[in-house]
């Protein structure tokens, strides 16, 4: 990915598990994002280039879901694939420990 393509400040985007037109990741980990989501992550004038790169600006924290009144963050660890998923979940309002997690496909 070219340097300077990603917006430097955190942005909120919506991630889905739908592939309109069928699955096309060919064994690579992927998130399904709208053009608008890529536009939010790109620097001014770089949306098309970011879309064509096929890469996600992943240096940031990814927040999944809505937790009103709670500051919960999700870090997807490097090396995650379709067959192995590693994530660090932190509750930032307290000591950072999470007692339980329920994942649902």
pLDDT, tens digit, for every residue of 7-62? 777 666 666 555 555 555 565 555 566 677 777 777 888 878 877 776 665 544 44
Whether residue 2 is found in the same domain as residue 51: yes
Rounded to two decimals, the pTM is: 0.38
d(CA 21, CA 3): 31
How many structural domains does the chain have?
Answer: 2
Contact criterion met (CB below 8 Å) for 21 and 57: no
The reply to whether 11 and 32 lie within a common domain is: yes
- Looking at the fold, whether 53 and 75 belong to one and the same domain comes out as no
* Domain hosting residue 32, numbered range: 1-57
38 and 68 in one domain?
no
pLDDT at 20: 56
Q: Give the pLDDT score at 17.
A: 54
Name the token pair of 68. 């009103």
Tell me: do 97 and 79 sit in the same domain: yes
Q: Are residues 35 and 2 in the same domain?
A: yes
**Based on the domain organization, do 74 and 97 belong to the same domain?**
yes
One domain for residues 89 and 44: no
Distance of CA 63 to the CA centre of its chain: 7
The pLDDT, as a whole number, for residue 41 is 75
Do 85 and 47 sit in the same domain of this protein?
no
**Per-residue DSSP letter, 74:** E
Q: Are residues 24 and 70 in the same domain?
A: no
**Pair (42, 79) in one structural domain:** no
Q: Are residues 2 and 52 in the same domain?
A: yes
């Amino acid at each position: 990915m070219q340097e300077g393509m990603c917006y430097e400040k955190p942005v909120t985007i919506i991630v889905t598990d739908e592939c309109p037109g069928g699955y096309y990741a060919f064994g690579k980990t992927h998130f399904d994002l709208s053009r608008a989501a890529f536009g939010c992550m790109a620097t001014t004038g770089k949306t098309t280039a970011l879309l064509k790169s096929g890469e996600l600006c992943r240096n940031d924290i990814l927040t999944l879901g809505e937790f009103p009144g709670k500051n919960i963050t999700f870090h997807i660890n490097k090396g995650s694939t379709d067959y192995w998923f590693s994530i660090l979940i932190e509750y930032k309002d307290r000591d950072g420990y999470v007692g339980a997690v329920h994942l649902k496909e």
